């Protein structure tokens, strides 16, 4: 274990044991958090099952409606209706294939000229199975959003190994993604450009005002419900690379911490690349509940990463799986 991890783990009285360590006794606070997390997982699973059932019912209803419609028609009308449906489907497929071509073009261009954004995947040993799963979902979401951008970034996944890699490989179409997948860490991969590396971390003193196209921005691939406070800052300091935080405080008041999720940070960067406007970028991405002036409703925040928000986003993510699996 390197000193960053030791330091952080000691400070945090971590609730998750590294895989090969002896089980720790959980503090009362940790037990409460674990219970909350388990309730959330159960609620999520229940919602998923309900949505699956609903989808099956909808599909069945549509099939019935279609058959009833056909049954009410004459032979000629039936043939016409079937043909027109086939035609519509063909047009839709052509449009999709054209859009896919344009997306490939944009992403290929971004390889040459796009802003480099790295997701640092070297923290998977500090996450539970479901946190890794959540991170994988966030990465998939980021990739889909980037593909739709008029000015996409060039995304990198570094330190992509072990369970993280296994879970990513399971994503539909992952092998064809136009993204850099590296087993080595960013520090090795960009060893000759160490000066260009900027680790984005909420704990930095430096505020990011502009995106410099010559720099490589790194986002910590971590879903930790803020268990590992300050870990990315410590890592960057130890490696002697620059750090910066997003200028959230200049534009919006947050209800609690300014620590955002990986997908929120990447989406904000992508929006900024497109709009050159931080305010617009923050307001479009940061959920209302995270802002202090908003009504935070009943959902409780789990130390910097939210529960309801994830549920809401899971819908969007599901749509993005559907889009990506057609690629
Ligand atoms: C869920 S956070 C992880 C928090 C973790 N405890 C840490 O020390 O970074 C995921 C990543 O998003 C980025 N991030 C989150 N909020 C940020 C902010 N306000 N400014 C810059 N980067 C941020 C960081 O790279 C961070 O590692």
Is residue 255 a part of any domain in this protein? Answer: yes
262 lines ligand 1 (CB under 6 A): yes
User: Is 307 within the bounds of a domain?
Assistant: yes
Range of weakest confidence among 19-23, 153-157, 263-267:
19-23
Tokens of 174: 């992952």
CATH of the domain at 209: 3.40.1280.30
- pLDDT tens-digit profile of 51-106? 999 999 999 999 999 999 999 999 999 999 999 999 999 999 999 999 999 999 99
142 lines ligand 1 (CB under 6 A): no
**Three-class DSSP category at 197:** strand
Structure tokens at 19: 């895989």
Predicted local confidence at residue 190, as pLDDT: 97
> Ligand 1 center to residue 304 CA distance, Å?
10
Q: How confident is the model at residue 317 (pLDDT cuts 50, 70, 90)?
A: low
Report the percentage of the chain scoring pLDDT > 70.
82
Domain membership flag for residue 127:
yes
Active site residue 83: no
Query: Does 257 sit in the ligand 1 pocket, CB within 6 Å?
Result: no
> Of the listed 224, 295, 303, 327, which one is catalytic?
224
Whether residue 80 is contained in a domain is answered as no
pLDDT in tens, 253-273: 888 889 999 999 999 999 999
Number of the ligand 1 atom closest to the C-alpha atom of 227: 6
Give the rounded percent of residues in the chain with a pLDDT score beyond 90: 72
Distance CA 42, CA 322 (A): 24
118 falls within a domain:
yes
Ligand 1 binding pocket includes 258 (Cβ within 6 Å): yes
Residues 6+ apart with CB under 8 A from 60: none
Whether residue 257 lies inside any domain: the answer is yes
Mean per-residue pLDDT for 14-27? 53
Mean pLDDT of the chain: 86
Q: How far is the CA of 232 from the centre of ligand 1 (A)?
A: 7
Nearest Cα to Cα of residue 268 among 217, 319, 223, 206:
217
Residues 183, 79: Cα–Cα separation, whole Å: 55
Is residue 253 assigned to a domain? yes
Q: How many domains is the chain partitioned into structurally?
A: 1
- Model pTM? 0.77
When pLDDT is cut at 50, 70 and 90, the band that residue 316 belongs to is low
Give residue 166's domain range. Answer: 114-327
- Ligand 1 centroid–CA 73 distance in Å is 60
225 Cβ closer than 6 Å to some ligand 1 atom: no
Q: Give alpha helix (H) positions in the chain.
A: 3-12, 28-71, 75-113, 129-148, 162-169, 186-189, 231-239, 248-251, 262-275, 278-285, 308-325
* pLDDT value at residue 20: 45
Residue 83: what pLDDT?
95
Ligand 1 centre distance from Cα of residue 301 (Å): 16
User: Does 237 map to a domain?
Assistant: yes
- pLDDT interval class at 5 (50, 70, 90): very low
> Does the pLDDT value for residue 2 go beyond 90?
no
């Amino acid at each position: 274990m390197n000193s960053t991890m030791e330091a952080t783990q000691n400070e945090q009285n971590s609730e998750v044991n590294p895989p090969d360590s002896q089980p720790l006794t959980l503090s009362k606070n940790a037990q409460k958090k674990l219970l909350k997390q388990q309730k959330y997982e159960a609620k999520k699973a229940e919602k998923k099952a309900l949505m699956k059932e609903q989808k099956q019912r909808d599909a069945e209803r549509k099939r019935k409606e279609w058959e009833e419609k056909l049954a009410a028609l004459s032979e000629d009308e039936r043939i016409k209706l079937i043909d027109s449906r086939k035609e519509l489907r063909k047009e839709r497929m052509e449009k999709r294939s054209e859009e896919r071509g344009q997306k490939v073009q944009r992403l290929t261009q971004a390889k040459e000229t796009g802003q480099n954004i790295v997701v640092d995947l070297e923290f998977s040993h500090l996450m539970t199975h479901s946190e890794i799963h959540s991170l994988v979902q966030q990465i998939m979401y980021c990739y889909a959003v980037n593909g739709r951008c008029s000015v996409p970034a060039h995304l990198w996944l570094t330190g992509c190994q072990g369970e993280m890699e296994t879970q990513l490989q399971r994503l539909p179409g992952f092998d064809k993604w136009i993204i850099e997948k590296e087993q080595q860490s960013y520090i090795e991969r960009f060893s000759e450009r160490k000066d260009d590396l900027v680790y984005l971390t909420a704990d930095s003193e430096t505020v990011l005002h502009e995106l410099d196209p010559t720099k490589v921005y790194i986002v910590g691939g971590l879903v930790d419900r803020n268990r590992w406070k300050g870990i990315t800052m410590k890592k960057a300091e130890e490696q002697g690379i620059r750090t910066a935080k997003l200028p959230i405080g200049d534009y919006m008041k947050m209800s609690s911490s300014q620590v955002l999720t990986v997908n929120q940070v990447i989406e904000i960067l992508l929006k900024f690349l497109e709009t050159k406007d931080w305010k617009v970028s923050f307001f479009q991405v940061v959920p209302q509940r995270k802002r202090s002036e908003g009504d935070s409703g009943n959902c409780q925040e789990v130390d910097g990463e939210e529960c309801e928000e994830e549920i809401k986003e899971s819908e969007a993510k599901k749509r993005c799986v559907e889009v990506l699996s057609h690629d």
